[in-house]
Chains A and B, each alone.
Chain A
Amino acid sequence: MKRFAGLFWSLLFLAVPILGVITFAVAPAYDIWLPKDVSEHGAAVDGLFYFILWLTGAVFIVTEVALFWFIWKYDANNKKAEVQYRHGNHALEVVWTIIPAAVLLFLAIYQMNTWADVKMRRPNMAPTVEVIGRQFEWRLRYPGRDGVLGTPDDLHLVNDLHLPIDEDILIQLKSMDVLHSFFLPNVRIKQDAVPGMKIPVWFKAREEGVFDIVCAELCGWGHYKMKGRVTFESRERFEEWLEIKYQEQEATQESGTKT
């Protein structure tokens, strides 16, 4: 029995890399993987994700298999050879310090350009729309006909965000009450909305479609239902929609003043 104990335990540890790799390999087939990306910068973000996945995946497999190998090979019940009495190896320590250090430093530098594109190189333009988080809805404000936010002709909507494709979008993100996070899984965008701050968010959508707006920062009991939808459409359809919504708002305002 004792002879097989070591084999049993070492195989249990071997199961970790095997099942780990299988999980990641099978997940995309069940659609349990990165959702569809319709943004311009998303390919770079996903590319970096895959780069790190391959890199860490390789390290994961090598170290876990080494662990299995040592457990299996140096089982006290099967091993005749003497224990190798040694306190370490200076050269090895230097090697396995410098190589990971270089890799990690490279990784950090390799990320910087994409990060700057998404969060630092803000397009020089007026905001397309203002998004305001409030328990538990997304309030939207379009500039209206004069193209300027904060004037009486602003268009006010809730949860139903429409945006044109193939052009720069600049969102001005605010919060009325608590922290929220404006998360567009299909655009690879996430930004916390902070009370007292105006935070710019920008991207460019490549494809038409309707997608989720998710709140990704705990904002209270109704956090789970703080859901919006974003519709990406052509410039023409976007402007048509804007006009219809604008007319609706005018109509309700007029009927409001009459009563």
Chain B
Amino acid sequence: MSTADTKPTSVQDSPQKHEAIVHAQPSTASKVSTFLSTYVFSKDHKVIGLQFLFSTLLWFLIGGLLALAVRWQVAWPWSDVPVVGKLFAQQGGQMAPEFYTMLFTMHATVMIFLVIIPILAGAFGNFLIPLMIGADDMAFPTLNMLSYWFMWPAFIAFGASFFVEGGAASSGWTSYPTLSTNVNSSPGAGWGQTLWLIGLTFVGVSSMLGSVNYMTTIILMRAPGMTMFRLPMTIWSMFITAILQAFALPVLTAAGFMQLADRSLGTGFFTPEGNIVNNAVATAGGGQPLLWQHLFWFYSHPAVYIMILPAMGMVSDILTCFARKPLFGYRPMVYSVAGIAGLGFIVWGHHMFMSGMNPALGVTFMVSTMMIALPSAVKTFNWLGTIWGGKIQFTTSMLFALSFVSMFIIGGLSGIFMAATPVDIFIHDTYFIVAHFHYVLFAGTAMGVWAAIYFWFPKMFGRTMNEFWGKVHFFLTFIFLNGTFFTMHILGAVGFPRRLADAYHYETFHHLQPLNAFMTYCAMGMVATQIIFAVNFFWSMFYGPIAGRNPWNSNTLEWTAPSPPGHGNFDFQPIVHRGPYEYSVPGIESDHLMQTDPPNSAATAAAAAAH
């Protein structure tokens, strides 16, 4: 606690003393140890944020390639995989069905646990929270460093699992028993599954370390004048996400240990009595497979919001900045994020409507699930309200943010189909749900992440990304993602099941191959488009135009710091005088009024009139 006790006071110290802290870093230590403590085992939230960003972008690439391999099999089952086919060394380059199950399991695992959650909370949470609240660093810098380095055992466990006997986990990212608990049930249920559970535990530890840090930092270390209701939406959503993590994660970690015990210690939490898999000896058992599903979704449903709320927050900030207009309904926005978080804990059963859970419970979960659509609807209306009557600047970042709104509408509405229990009977575990969560997580969150990367890149590296190639990247990604994912809805309407290595031998689905081939071509285009992004990203890091402190004329605190900010962030003590969204205030010359700008009588009068 000593750090927590000292840090908040240091924020309120005089600028001179703050300066001293900032420049106290240069030491007489050797170059190697300086390098290590600056770039590797750094306790600076910005370096940790960038470490998260680079690691997750690398895993994003791996997850994307896994998805391509999945799409190849769905479009052209049992045909030779081009280029990398020989690496699989199975039947001369064609995919074995157990390899296919491993591919989609690991695609989802990588994307969820190693990309989306850490890129939002780890990369942007770390980088933005202290900067946007006006703190010099996180409350617990060492804990923060550990939260990144606890990801590495997970990277290694998940990465190594591809190379162990039987291959990586292949019981789906949901890891349902008894497929996952019984080592005889599938090739990947051996070491692959054990490594999966170990990896999951480390991801959980990392998230937990991050979340306590974010909560403490946001509560204790806000700059003078930064009241809770002057926080930007990014920080509000990061704050509520951290609370969700802290409450939901222990359940998943415990469940993971229970599954590990079932597999290696012979317990029977999730295995029923006398369970015989693949003609092996019957298990002693005595447990219940559905228990895992309850525990898993008790975490993983709130985790769905962990995967979207921070993107919603960042998009809200980007929309206001490029519409040059205050956020429409700031407080309703905050309340709806809180509402999503609260309701998020009582909707997990909607993943289990067909599971054999008491159908009466399904009715309860249907009502709560329908109601959780409400705060999302309110947010969407407020985003529309925000750009309504603004002056929209079509930057790459803004285009990605607008597409987040457009795509989130689709993802949100398609969720209502699954929430309706009778309709879910038919579309459960079909491509309809695949369409739904890709619209939320890829077309939503990933587009939000790109908006955020283009927006905060200048703060991260001091240079802006190339706008022309950014727009090309946006345009092609937008086209290809809709080509890939929108068509999944109608595939789901036929009842086309997910996770099938080859569905065309069914009479019901035999005619769907051409559509799947079209989707795979779009997916290839989508992955190829990311080359443009990668080149733009690295080129701009070194050769992009110098950005200056506030390239977008934005209001929030991070734009008052140098780009990139030095250790300790601010070269003056930020004092906050107003909320984050004072754009186009009538009666003043500039079209934006930063949170740190001194009180202005015209602005105060305008704000009073507007309320």
A34 near B: Cβ within 8 Å?
yes
Contact B410 A33, beta carbon cutoff 8 Å:
no
- Complex Cα spacing A48 to B420, Å: 8
B277 near A: Cβ within 8 Å?
yes
Chain A residues near B308: list those with CB within 8 A. none
B15 near A: Cβ within 8 Å?
no
B227 near A: Cβ within 8 Å?
no
Contact B505 A227, beta carbon cutoff 8 Å:
yes
Instruction: Give chain B interface residues in 405-438, CB to chain A under 8 Å.
Output: 405-406, 409-410, 413-414, 416-417, 419-423, 425-430
- Complex Cα spacing A9 to B512, Å: 33
B384 near A: Cβ within 8 Å?
yes
B370 near A: Cβ within 8 Å?
yes
Partner-binding segment picked from B144-152, B247-255, B320-328: B320-328
A223-B185 in contact given A32-B493, A96-B381, A190-B428 (Cβ < 8 Å): no
Selected from B356, B393, B423, B500, the residue in CB contact (under 8 A) with A49 is B423
Chain A residues near B428: list those with CB within 8 A. 190, 216
A224 near B: Cβ within 8 Å?
yes
A20-B486 in contact given A179-B179, A223-B500 (Cβ < 8 Å): yes
For A69, the closest partner residue in chain B by CB is B388
Chain B residues near A178: list those with CB within 8 A. 178-179, 182, 185, 277
Chain B residues near A149: list those with CB within 8 A. none
B66 to chain A: closest CB distance in Å? 16
B566 near A: Cβ within 8 Å?
no
Selected from A76, A92, A194, the residue in CB contact (under 8 A) with B391 is A76
A244 near B: Cβ within 8 Å?
no
Chain B residues near A247: list those with CB within 8 A. none
B252 to chain A: closest CB distance in Å? 19
Q: B360, B402, B420, B591: which has the most chain A beta carbons within 10 Å?
A: B420
Chain A residues near B177: list those with CB within 8 A. 179
Instruction: Give chain B interface residues in 108-129, CB to chain A under 8 Å.
Output: none
A158 to chain B: closest CB distance in Å? 16
Query: What is the 8 Å Cβ interface bit string for chain B, positions 375-407, against chain A (1 contact, 0 not)?
Result: 001101110110111111110000100110110
For A109, the closest partner residue in chain B by CB is B367
- Complex Cα spacing A157 to B492, Å: 31
Contact A67 B329, beta carbon cutoff 8 Å:
no
Selected from B362, B374, B502, the residue in CB contact (under 8 A) with A101 is B374
Contact A177 B392, beta carbon cutoff 8 Å:
no
Contact B370 A104, beta carbon cutoff 8 Å:
yes
A139 to chain B: closest CB distance in Å? 13
B101 near A: Cβ within 8 Å?
yes
Contact A186 B390, beta carbon cutoff 8 Å:
no
Contact B584 A83, beta carbon cutoff 8 Å:
yes
Contact B416 A52, beta carbon cutoff 8 Å:
yes
Chain A residues near B224: list those with CB within 8 A. none
Query: Number of B interface residues, CB 8 Å?
Result: 119
Query: What is the 8 Å Cβ interface bit string for chain A, positions 189-229, against chain B (1 contact, 0 not)?
Result: 11111111101000000000001101111111111110100
Chain B residues near A177: list those with CB within 8 A. 178, 182, 185, 275-278
Instruction: Give chain B interface residues in 211-243, CB to chain A under 8 Å.
Output: none
A88-B328 in contact given A60-B409, A107-B416, A214-B497 (Cβ < 8 Å): yes
For B98, the closest partner residue in chain A by CB is A221
A128 near B: Cβ within 8 Å?
no
Instruction: Give chain B interface residues in 483-517, CB to chain A under 8 Å.
Output: 486-487, 489-491, 493-495, 497, 499-503, 505-508, 511-512, 515
Contact B414 A88, beta carbon cutoff 8 Å:
no
B457 near A: Cβ within 8 Å?
no
Instruction: Give chain B interface residues in 353-380, CB to chain A under 8 Å.
Output: 354-356, 359-360, 362-363, 366-367, 370-371, 373-374, 377-378, 380
Contact B512 A100, beta carbon cutoff 8 Å:
no
Selected from A74, A85, A193, A221, the residue in CB contact (under 8 A) with B388 is A74
A35 near B: Cβ within 8 Å?
yes
- Complex Cα spacing A218 to B105, Å: 11
B97 near A: Cβ within 8 Å?
yes
Contact A192 B371, beta carbon cutoff 8 Å:
no
A141 near B: Cβ within 8 Å?
no
Query: What is the 8 Å Cβ interface bit string for chain B, positions 168-181, against chain A (1 contact, 0 not)?
Result: 00111000111100
- Complex Cα spacing A33 to B494, Å: 5
Contact B276 A181, beta carbon cutoff 8 Å:
no
Contact B285 A190, beta carbon cutoff 8 Å:
no
Query: What is the 8 Å Cβ interface bit string for chain A, positions 119-157, against chain B (1 contact, 0 not)?
Result: 110000000000000010000000000000000000000
A186 to chain B: closest CB distance in Å? 7
Chain B residues near A116: list those with CB within 8 A. 359, 363
Contact A108 B370, beta carbon cutoff 8 Å:
yes
A242 near B: Cβ within 8 Å?
no
A76-B406 in contact given A83-B325, A135-B185 (Cβ < 8 Å): no
Instruction: Give chain B interface residues in 546-586, CB to chain A under 8 Å.
Output: 581, 583-586
B142 near A: Cβ within 8 Å?
no
Instruction: Give chain A interface residues in 103-121, CB to chain B under 8 Å.
Output: 104-105, 107-108, 111-112, 114-116, 118-120
Instruction: Give chain B interface residues in 304-337, CB to chain A under 8 Å.
Output: 323-332
Contact B490 A27, beta carbon cutoff 8 Å:
yes
A220-B392 in contact given A23-B487, A63-B384 (Cβ < 8 Å): no
For B425, the closest partner residue in chain A by CB is A190
B500 to chain A: closest CB distance in Å? 4
For A95, the closest partner residue in chain B by CB is B381
B475 near A: Cβ within 8 Å?
yes
Query: What is the 8 Å Cβ interface bit string for chain A, positions 70-88, against chain B (1 contact, 0 not)?
Result: 1100111001001111111
Q: B290, B332, B356: which has the most chain A beta carbons within 10 Å?
A: B356
Selected from A56, A85, A219, the residue in CB contact (under 8 A) with B610 is A85
B160 near A: Cβ within 8 Å?
no
Chain A residues near B326: list those with CB within 8 A. 85-87
B187 near A: Cβ within 8 Å?
yes
A96-B378 in contact given A70-B384, A222-B97, A225-B505 (Cβ < 8 Å): yes
Contact B423 A67, beta carbon cutoff 8 Å:
no
Contact B385 A32, beta carbon cutoff 8 Å:
no
Partner-binding segment picked from A11-19, A163-171, A251-259: A11-19
Chain A residues near B98: list those with CB within 8 A. 220-221
B273 near A: Cβ within 8 Å?
yes
21 A-B residue pairs with Cβ-Cβ distance under 8 Å, sorted by A, are: A32-B515, A35-B494, A56-B413, A70-B392, A74-B323, A79-B391, A83-B325, A85-B325, A89-B328, A107-B420, A108-B419, A120-B360, A177-B276, A178-B179, A183-B429, A185-B495, A216-B429, A220-B179, A223-B101, A224-B501, A227-B505
With A6-B392, A177-B178, A223-B500 given, can you name 17 additional A-B contacts, CB distance below 8 Å? Answer: A5-B394, A13-B403, A20-B486, A24-B489, A32-B512, A35-B494, A56-B414, A59-B409, A87-B328, A88-B332, A92-B381, A104-B374, A108-B419, A112-B363, A211-B508, A212-B506, A221-B170
Closest 10 CB pairs of A and B: A196-B272, A84-B389, A221-B98, A83-B584, A88-B329, A119-B359, A76-B391, A185-B495, A56-B413, A27-B490
